[in-house]
């Protein structure tokens, strides 16, 4: 193979690669936009109902006791620092997308243990004054990560419907 053909071949390949990479970026950008990707980086509760699977929860939340005061994120994302908040959003975002894409989920959704822990702590953020005393009475030791506290003195075991009754 002589020098010139080799150069031409390379040029063609580079062009193909450039086109493909451009394609990836283009299609990726469009998909991201079409799926309202940016809305998930914000905290607007409406974006949680982008997928119709959450419409019922959203409708119930609007009418609930917490509908005027707490957003989805207020109860379903951690409040300790930005890293764990975005970890939670990324983790749930990934698994929700996976379930919704494959259709592999049950009719009556059940909260996972990880997310129950997040919500349980979220109650304590706003209702600290009240809950502090209860926690001390019930558990004694106020250790934030104490699983004992979540199991033995859980808010949402009784107050399971304050956010949305589904």
Partner 1 sequence: MKKQTGQITLSTLLLIVILSAGICFAMVALLTNIFERKQEGRSTIMRVVEIDDDTSDPAVWGKNFPLQYDDYLKTADMIQTTYGGSEAIPHVPTDEDPRDIVSRSKLELIPQLKRMWAGYAFSKDYREKRGHAYMLTDQLYTERQKVGQPGTCIHCHGSTYVAMKELGNGDILAGFEKLNTMPYSEAKEHIKHPVACIDCHDPDTMALRITRPAFMEGIAAYKATQGIKDYDVNRDASRQEMRSFVCGQCHVEYYFKGDQKRLTYPWSEGLTVDAAYEHFEKEEFKDWVHAETGAPMLKAQHPEFELWSQGIHARAGVSCADCHMAYKRVGAMKISDHHIRSPLLNVNASCGTCHKTSDQELIARTENIQTRHRKLVEVALDALMDLIDDINKAKKNGVSEDKIKEAQQWQRKATFYVDYVEAENSSGFHAGQEAARILAESIDFSRKGQKALR
Q: Residue 144: name the closest of 116, 109, 120 by CA.
A: 120
Question: Which CB atom, from 50 or from 71, has the smaller least distance to partner 1?
Answer: 50
Closest CA to 149 of 166, 127, 134, 162: 134
Contacts with partner 1, residue ranges (CB under 8 A): 6, 13-14, 16-17, 20-21, 23-24, 27-28, 30-31, 34-35, 51-53, 55, 100-101, 106-108, 110, 160
For residue 47, how many other CB atoms are within 10 A of its CB?
A: 18
Nearer to partner 1, 81 or 101 (CB): 101
Return the number of the residue (20 or 41) whose C-beta is nearest partner 1. Answer: 20
Query: What per-residue string of b and e applies to 123-138 under the rule 16 or more CB within 10 Å gives b?
Result: bbeeeeeebeeebeee
Least separation in angstroms between residue 134's CB and partner 1 is 22
**In the block, residue with structure tokens 């129950």:** 116
Residue 65 Cβ vs partner 1, minimum distance, rounded to whole Å:
19
Rounded least distance, CB 56 to partner 1, Å: 8
Decide: 121 and 78 in contact? Cβ < 8 Å.
Answer: yes
Q: How far is the CB of 97 from partner 1 (least distance, A)?
A: 9
Comparison of 119 and 135: residue with beta carbon closer to partner 1: 119
């Amino acid at each position: 193979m002589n020098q010139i053909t080799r150069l031409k071949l390379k040029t063609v390949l580079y062009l193909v690669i450039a086109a493909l990479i451009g394609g990836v970026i283009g299609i990726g950008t469009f998909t991201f936009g079409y799926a309202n990707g940016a809305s998930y980086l914000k905290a607007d509760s409406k974006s949680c109902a982008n997928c119709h699977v959450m419409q019922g929860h959203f409708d119930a939340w609007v009418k609930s006791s917490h509908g005027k005061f707490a957003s989805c994120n207020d109860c379903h994302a951690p409040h300790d620092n930005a890293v764990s908040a975005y970890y939670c959003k990324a983790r749930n975002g990934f698994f929700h997308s996976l379930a919704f894409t494959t259709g592999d989920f049950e009719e009556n959704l059940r909260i996972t243990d990880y997310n129950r822990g997040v919500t349980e702590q979220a109650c304590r953020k706003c209702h600290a004054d009240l809950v502090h005393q209860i926690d001390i009475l019930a558990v004694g030791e106020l250790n934030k990560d104490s699983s004992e506290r979540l199991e033995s003195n859980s808010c949402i075991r009784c107050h399971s419907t304050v956010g949305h009754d589904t």
